[in-house]
Amino acid sequence: MPFEDSGVSDPATGKQIAISTTLRKFYRAKYKEEYGHLANKELNKVIADEFAKCSGKIIHYFKAKSGKGSVTADWAEIRQGLWSTRFFISLYSDKMYVAAMQERFAEPKTRNVKVK
């Protein structure tokens, strides 16, 4: 999953925010009128700005599974978006990699505690 820098820092971690191609495709498909015409660089900034505004809405941490993707991360998180029906999924690494968005979140039976 390729990521592009947004030029925005995350207030919760101080790390730069990178946006995935998958998330840009989601925004363009779901919000055609608002974002369908934006270039990648502009859309990355729009998404990263929203993600940054949600820095106080981290609702779940979990151990990231090692995969064959372009990012290696130990921890991932779910943040509630500015609207109650949008949830960002992101990975902690050298940057905050915002990978996807989902429109539902089911509270897990067990909670992970993030160790810094």
Does residue 114 sit within a domain? no
How much of the chain exceeds pLDDT 90, in percent? 49
Q: Looking at the predicted structure, is the pLDDT value of residue 115 above 50?
A: no
- Residue range 5-39, pLDDT digits in tens: 999 999 999 999 999 999 999 999 988 899 889 99
Q: Put the strands of the sheet holding 96-102 in their side by side order.
A: 3-9, 16-20, 96-102, 87-92, 75-80, 58-63
* pTM of structure: 0.83
Does residue 79 sit within a domain? yes
Does residue 107 sit within a domain? no
Does residue 108 sit within a domain? no
Does residue 112 sit within a domain? no
For the segment 83-93, the average pLDDT, to the nearest whole number, is: 86
Beta strands in 1-116 (DSSP E): 3-9, 16-20, 58-63, 75-80, 87-92, 96-102
Does residue 95 sit within a domain? yes
